Amino acid sequence: MVDFGYSETIQTSELRNLKKHLSQSGAFSFLCHLAEVVPAGDQSMWSRTACEFMVEETHNKKLYIKKKGDNIKTSLPVDLILETYVPESALEPARRSYTSLIDMMKDRGLVIPAPGALSRKKTPVKVQPKTYPIMFFDPPTLPEDNSFIGIPVYVNFDAVIYVQELRGDEEFKELSELIQQRFRESEPHKFEETKWQLNQACIAFFHLDQQWYRAKIISLEPHRVKVKFVDFGNCENVSYDKIRADVEDFMYLPPQCFECALYNVLPNTESGKWSKPALDFMHKSCVTKACVIEVLERIDGEPLKIKVMLPDRQDLSSVLESEGYAIQEDSLLELMLQSQEIEAVLKTKNPYKSMPLYTVGEFFDVLITHVEIPNVVYYQHTRYSGDEADERTDEINHQLTKLEQMWVELNEAGPVSPPLMRPKPGKMCCAQYGFDQCWYRGLVITAPDHQNQVLVLYVDFGTSEIVPLERVRTLPPQFQSLPAQARRLVLSGIQIPTPQASWNVQAQERMLQCAGAKVSKCCLKKLDPLQGELFRAEDWSNMTLLYQELIDSGLLQYSEESDLCNDEEPSRTRLGSDDVLIEEIEEMGDMEDMGDMEDLDFEEEEEETSQSDNENVSCGLIITEAEL
């Protein structure tokens, strides 16, 4: 069968004359043979194993014929090139691989070189050296729309995502085929033909799929060159015989991929570098998949800041956070780590005495002196006067007065105190606060770093900062006996909103706005570790949390039911962000008695006096909204 190449024995009755118009076309198949090889073993006959191997490897496969010479007795010497699909791997897009059938059969011992094949030499032909114009690619064309369908084709080690916009790609496909046709059989350039430059456009060979692609040179070395494949984003070191300069015919399309980076996302590592598992996860999640790309920020000269919606409609950034690979760029990870260090030292190495605690379920007034992270604050007790005074409140007032006196004396003694020798976590000190240059009692939290700096907690206010050792001194003995006036309080039930992996700057700033330097009602829920809740002092009757608006806006997540109060205490508002159930507050008694009203007026005057007294408390370390 001249159009298919196979033969068959049939009866003459099954033969028919070929019509004239069908005989005008030449045969659609032609005879060929594997070039320069013969069967292993009996060279006059192909073994059954070799035939079965050829059938198995070529059946239903896309093949390319590589001509190896002129016809020999009407048979064309060739090699068959098999095309196979190579799935994507970590940091590499999916490719197509091309393998020689002759090489495969040689590897399996099915063929051997034909006699004389190794000794044949090509007749040298003198060719005039060619020169090629040096060309450079234009920048890629960025999408005009801020929302489009794109295919991530590569993720580099900095988590830069190279994206191709999904559109009619027939032109690019045709370009790729033309490149293969031109360079598959091309010879390397001679030395005198090329002078390579950085960023020069070229065609380069990619080893994984054995194909040629458009590229640009990004570094030059004596024996190799590093290229970047401009349509895919990946880089590779290649030898000089694997690049071609005759690229002029393939410059009509701009580079097909552009650089993107996930918006507001950082690696969740101490080094600040993306881990290999994180990059592998990103690659498997999005590379070669059609995704919805939303451009959130465009800055000239920088990758587009994007949000990637995966085919399953999940946000890639959120998935990376939930898997622990990433954090938000505005996260408070460093502050959270500092908070953990402070908590550990206060629990095991704190030499300062502590203020006496109120009992669980009891409500008392506090002044918030510092917000460490959105769910950890420090408070001081407030002054009490009038009918509120008792033995406990007298002690609180006495210690606050001593704190004011000590602050004046310490600012005279601090500058002349001897340097702190052998600073280590848990050591008392006095330190000069960077904001107001005043001296305060402190507690060393970390050992000195390579710059001779330590993290210091100012124990009477809760503020902490990294301080050079020249601003850290020995605490004089007369200032060591007063209990630390700031208590560290973990806000009960307050957690990082899912799917975030850490607190962010917005939550911290809003918490400072609503709680910083504010007097509020506190109710302890647990003593070890100290946990409780804060309520608005001005809205006491409704039992509204001081940070309720942050819960409602989703910046804080409230995750547990309150069991603060026993049955004798007022019931309170259930403080979820989506459903707020107002419970009844106990009757305050018969308000018809005007004498009771006079008592209430007197209590209001006392409260105003008490809050006025609080303004006299030294608050150099109390961070307010104005200091942000």
Task: List pLDDT tens digits, range 546-573.
Answer: 999 999 999 999 986 544 433 333 333 3
Tell me the two tokens of residue 506: 């917005």
Q: How far apart are the C-alpha atoms of 432 and 412, rounded to whole Å?
A: 12
pLDDT in tens, 311-321: 999 999 989 98
In this predicted structure, what is the pLDDT of residue 193?
A: 66
Most confident range (mean pLDDT) of 331-335, 355-359, 491-495, 513-517 is 491-495
Q: Is the pLDDT of residue 586 over 50?
A: no
User: Which of the two residues, 118 and 304, has the higher pLDDT score?
Assistant: 304
Matching residue, tokens 């607190």: 503
User: Which of the two residues, 604 and 35, has the higher pLDDT score?
Assistant: 35
User: Which of the two residues, 604 and 65, has the higher pLDDT score?
Assistant: 65
In this predicted structure, what is the pLDDT of residue 423?
A: 94
Q: How far apart are the C-alpha atoms of 342 and 368, rounded to whole Å?
A: 18
Q: Which segments of the chain belong to CATH 2.30.30.140? A: 170-255, 336-558
Q: How far apart are the C-alpha atoms of 169 and 256, rounded to whole Å?
A: 10
User: Which of the two residues, 103 and 578, has the higher pLDDT score?
Assistant: 103
Backbone phi, psi, residue 210, to 5°: 60, 35
Extract the runs of DSSP E, i.e. beta strands, from 469-514.
472-473, 487-491, 494-495
pLDDT in tens, 72-119: 877 888 888 888 777 765 555 666 677 888 888 888 888 888 776 655
Three-state SS letters, 513-567: HHHCCCEEEEEEEEECCEEEEEEEHHHHHHCCECCHHHHHCCCCEECCCCCCCCC
- For 232, other C-beta atoms within 10 Å of its C-beta total 21
Strands 32-34 and 76-86: parallel
In this predicted structure, what is the pLDDT of residue 556?
A: 94
12-113 adopts what CATH topology? OB fold (Dihydrolipoamide Acetyltransferase, E2P) (2.40.50)
Among 430, 450, 414, 371, smallest CA distance to 622 is for: 371
Strands 95-100 and 76-86: antiparallel
In this predicted structure, what is the pLDDT of residue 591?
A: 33
Omega before 499 within 30 of 0, i.e. cis: yes
- For 399, other C-beta atoms within 10 Å of its C-beta total 18
In this predicted structure, what is the pLDDT of residue 49?
A: 87
The length of the chain is 628
Q: Is the pLDDT of residue 368 over 90?
A: yes
User: Which of the two residues, 395 and 2, has the higher pLDDT score?
Assistant: 395
Matching residue, tokens 């027939």: 170
In this predicted structure, what is the pLDDT of residue 122?
A: 52
Burial class (CB in 10 A: 0-12, 13-18, 19+), 48: exposed
Minimum mean pLDDT range among 115-129, 288-302, 339-353, 603-617 = 603-617
DSSP 95: E
Whole-prediction pTM value?
A: 0.51
Burial class (CB in 10 A: 0-12, 13-18, 19+), 474: middle
Q: Is the pLDDT of residue 619 over 50?
A: no
336-558 adopts what CATH topology? SH3 type barrels. (2.30.30)
In this predicted structure, what is the pLDDT of residue 191?
A: 64
615 Cβ contact partners less than 8 Å away, ≥ 6 residues apart = none
User: Which of the two residues, 421 and 6, has the higher pLDDT score?
Assistant: 421
In this predicted structure, what is the pLDDT of residue 611?
A: 36
User: Which of the two residues, 70 and 150, has the higher pLDDT score?
Assistant: 150
Q: Which segments of the chain belong to CATH 2.40.50? A: 12-113
Q: Provide the pLDDT confidence category of residue 371 given band limits of 50, 70 and 90.
A: very high
Query: Which residues are registered as beta bridge partners of 177?
Result: none
In this predicted structure, what is the pLDDT of residue 572?
A: 37
DSSP 114: P
pLDDT in tens, 26-49: 777 778 888 888 888 777 788 888
Average pLDDT value for residue range 233-248: 93
In this predicted structure, what is the pLDDT of residue 614?
A: 40
Mean pLDDT for the chain? 83
Q: Is the pLDDT of residue 344 over 50?
A: yes
What number does CATH give the domain 170-255?
2.30.30.140
pLDDT in tens, 519-547: 999 999 999 899 999 999 887 678 889 99
User: Which of the two residues, 545 and 384, has the higher pLDDT score?
Assistant: 545
